[in-house]
Structure 1
């Protein structure tokens, strides 16, 4: 465990620090201009030296705070005091973000600007977290509180941009998801098993002037027993780590259960805390286990589906799948242990033995969306593998649920081709008839669908001039097939295009 003191949230000190950070212009773009774009990109890879060389002769407030808070490096006391005229060094120490050693200020946490884009536009927050590997120059302590990492950004991108009354951020960590959700929720409850994480999360809420978040300590759903929410989001500690002696367990990533049991437990419990129409969204890992089904690449998705009762809507998107070896190496390195370290091989052995004991053939990663329907009808159950680049995923998920609900009343009488859809035709040399026709989606899940001439013609005619049945009747005449036969062929595929967002409801 870390022997670094906890942050000490205090609204007065936090407001003073925010004023000083604002005055120094400690924001992403000013910092990037200060030390250079290439140097800034190097920092994302854990390299500090390019930045240090770039600002070596600069002792201004932004450079001083950049070295102290962004890089986690000691700075002269006088320079820090000058850079924090409102808060002062004593205030920074009182917040638990630094300590003083003789004439130097030693950072005990990082504080970095974090930009975001959502349905309301562009914004930026200051996010405090524990010192990273570069600042510590070694492995992370078990109670490390992570800043805004790749998983945090991924969850932020997939949360549906919907207005809700009450929201829950389970396993809030540094609080980034609670801050994001608070932009669209009247009130937010943020929980974590780590008191240290909650201290950072509360401090970050204060720094950014967000007062609608309540922080509660406890494991999983225990702090909200008996309560329901319109939206639950979670970046839980989903990493599958062997429960073996000598294997470190990190609070920010390891759930403390065997295999993927923590994700299973979350999925089994979350629906009890959803209002009618409420949704739960999370990131997760799931195991594919031995047997013939594993060879199809769907064993992990089917495993997740088995955890969700049929009366709930479920949408699972698998973004990647790793072998046990690749997975073990990824997370051993994440903890700061490399093949050069003596501990690496024993750790690798423990991970591989753990996977072998359960017959694990692969580990999937992706998004899980569960909804408690507010109406009777057919339930949504989508299990997909989508490795391609994606964008605006939160909006795509929201629109996909809306499309499912729309289709409960049948296919709309008027459809429009979505604005981001294009068509590609592939022809063999000397042949005027295309051998392949593709519909390509420019945003969301960026789907590419192969279609036949009849469906391509239908999509091309969905411009708001004709109804669905008028288009189908015209195509039946064009292709010289009975209308009923053509409709029977097109109807399920039109439904799928609506679900996928390539066709949207229109009207005159």
Structure 2
């Protein structure tokens, strides 16, 4: 199927029609109702089909609710009468939508069927700058087609895309690189705070969708350039202040009999298979992205990495950071065993044991064999934040696991944590003791007591924002956090607490100052 076409006049007409027809997130959810909308988010179409059918029951196609027509066509993959689409898109018309490559029609009559050739849906998300509301065009998914995905399939805004958009730092900046742009979602987010965005992809089809999405959403003052090429090749020798990437990080068998078995059963999906063995693609990106970062520049990407027998993941991935020569902060968010991982990604492309038992079994076995060949016990998924030092050697090396819930968007929290690290790096303990700190507004304290006891057994200082960390605090540390209101210095508070708890001030400072550093780094305390 041909990729979409970006005709500026038609795209402007389409944008006007989508606005006037209330084809946005709120409008569609209002049409479907909460039950059907929630089911559709879970990739269950039946409630939405019933809601759409009810909305047009007994109504002539020329009077159909535009939201019902567009939802049926682009979200559910159902045919609609030409007359209904002409009403939904009065300026563009069904013929204009066809010229854009979004639909195909079976005739010129009012009752002739029109079918979608692309997914076009409202998009709503929040990043560190606030709410973003657009429309995104991509290839039709399995829900609409009822079949496995094509190997050149272009994804819309999936869970990984949303995660990356939410964790990205959004401070105003100069040049941003969106590496592996896909349908262009990260480029759209970046265009809100960057002077210029360069978006790359190896897939011409993906770039065609990205081009359409940039034009359709008409971001004010957006300077977005699209380039074709693999990984960092299209930007060799250039420098960027921010690099974002949701790369094809899926660990897929490529070598030997296992690789051939997967290729025969499934093919290679451009959006997820980078053609490298194991987690080499993510490793190579971590090692190479510093070449295109300006001093002080930040790279944020998602990735998978292997947990190999006898080697902690923090040592293996930490070695990548050491080789890269960059500041690094890696948060592991999820861990799957080899069988779970194989099941996830075979099913992701639309292959199921019921629909294609032979392909399922062949691919499943090949994945397990491939992992066994490298003694892989599990696969981690997480968020990688890298930074090129302004000068000198890296000072940040942090690898941690956080599989619990987080408060999205995380981008502002990550920016504050990086700033806190830099602030601490410039201050010895004497300077820290002289600082006047303030407890963040989202910090609370939890106390756990044995019934009848006067004092708590455990005190937890908890963060409501960001990663929602909970720190088990001694009584003096909890008291210090409670006293940080910007009036007294840290040293003055420690001195007062030493008198209160009847302990030497120097000993208490030696206990509390390292803990205060951790609280500043994690956003509990700020200057």
Question: TM-score, normalization: structure 1?
Answer: 0.95
Is residue 355 from structure 1 mapped to residue 371 from structure 2 by the alignment? Answer: yes
Superposition pairs of residues 458-469 of structure 1, within 5 angstroms: 458-469=480-491
Give the corresponding residue for 1:296: none
Superposition pairs of residues 355-504 of structure 1, within 5 angstroms: 355-376=371-392, 379-391=395-407, 392-410=409-427, 411=432, 413-504=435-526
Listed one character per residue, the Cα deviations across residues 273-305 of structure 1 (whole Å, up to 9, x for unaligned) are 0001100000000001111x4xxxxx2232222
Superposition pairs of residues 319-338 of structure 1, within 5 angstroms: 319-338=333-352
**Distance of 1:72 and 1:213 partners within structure 2:** 31
Displacement of 1:338: 1.6
Q: Which runs of 5+ in 2 are unaligned?
A: 57-63
Superposition pairs of residues 10-49 of structure 1, within 5 angstroms: 10-49=7-46
Is residue 302 from structure 1 mapped to residue 347 from structure 2 by the alignment? Answer: no
Aligned match of 2:272 in 239, 253, 261? 253
* Cα pair 2:127 2:411 within 8 Å, conserved: no
Give the corresponding residue for 1:87: 92
* Cα pair 1:61 1:80 within 8 Å, conserved: yes
Is residue 140 from structure 1 mapped to residue 171 from structure 2 by the alignment? Answer: no
Superposition pairs of residues 201-220 of structure 1, within 5 angstroms: 201-210=210-219, 211-220=222-231
Listed one character per residue, the Cα deviations across residues 47-71 of structure 1 (whole Å, up to 9, x for unaligned) are 2221221221422222111211222
**Distance of 2:388 and 2:130 partners within structure 1:** 29
* Cα pair 2:128 2:411 within 8 Å, conserved: no
Listed one character per residue, the Cα deviations across residues 360-383 of structure 1 (whole Å, up to 9, x for unaligned) are 011000100000111446601111
SS of residue matched to 1:475 = helix
* Cα pair 2:329 2:386 within 8 Å, conserved: yes
SS of residue matched to 1:160 = coil
Listed one character per residue, the Cα deviations across residues 316-340 of structure 1 (whole Å, up to 9, x for unaligned) are 0000111111111111111111222
Listed one character per residue, the Cα deviations across residues 175-225 of structure 1 (whole Å, up to 9, x for unaligned) are 011000110101100000100000000100000003411000000011111
Residue 377 and residue 359 in structure 1: after superposition, are their counterparts in 2 closer, same or farther (change >3 A)?
A: closer
Displacement of 1:82: 2.3
Aligned match of 1:226 in 216, 232, 237? 237
* Cα pair 1:301 1:318 within 8 Å, conserved: no
SS of residue matched to 1:227 = coil
Count of residue correspondences: 496
Listed one character per residue, the Cα deviations across residues 230-283 of structure 1 (whole Å, up to 9, x for unaligned) are 000000011101111242211111111100011011111100100011000000
Is residue 110 from structure 1 mapped to residue 119 from structure 2 by the alignment? Answer: yes
* Cα pair 1:146 1:252 within 8 Å, conserved: yes
* Cα pair 2:202 2:228 within 8 Å, conserved: yes
Displacement of 1:119: 4.0
Give the corresponding residue for 2:135: 126
Displacement of 1:470: 0.7
Give the corresponding residue for 2:197: 188
Displacement of 1:158: 0.3
SS of residue matched to 1:55 = helix
Superposition pairs of residues 228-307 of structure 1, within 5 angstroms: 228-243=239-254, 244-247=259-262, 248-291=267-310, 293=311, 299-307=312-320
* Cα pair 1:377 1:408 within 8 Å, conserved: no
Displacement of 1:409: 2.3
Residue 186 and residue 448 in structure 1: after superposition, are their counterparts in 2 closer, same or farther (change >3 A)?
A: same
* Cα pair 1:378 1:408 within 8 Å, conserved: no
**Distance of 2:183 and 2:293 partners within structure 1:** 24
Q: Which runs of 5+ in 1 are unaligned?
A: 294-298
**Distance of 1:325 and 1:383 partners within structure 2:** 25
**Distance of 1:204 and 1:319 partners within structure 2:** 30
Give the corresponding residue for 2:53: 56
Give the corresponding residue for 2:160: 151
Give the corresponding residue for 2:102: 97
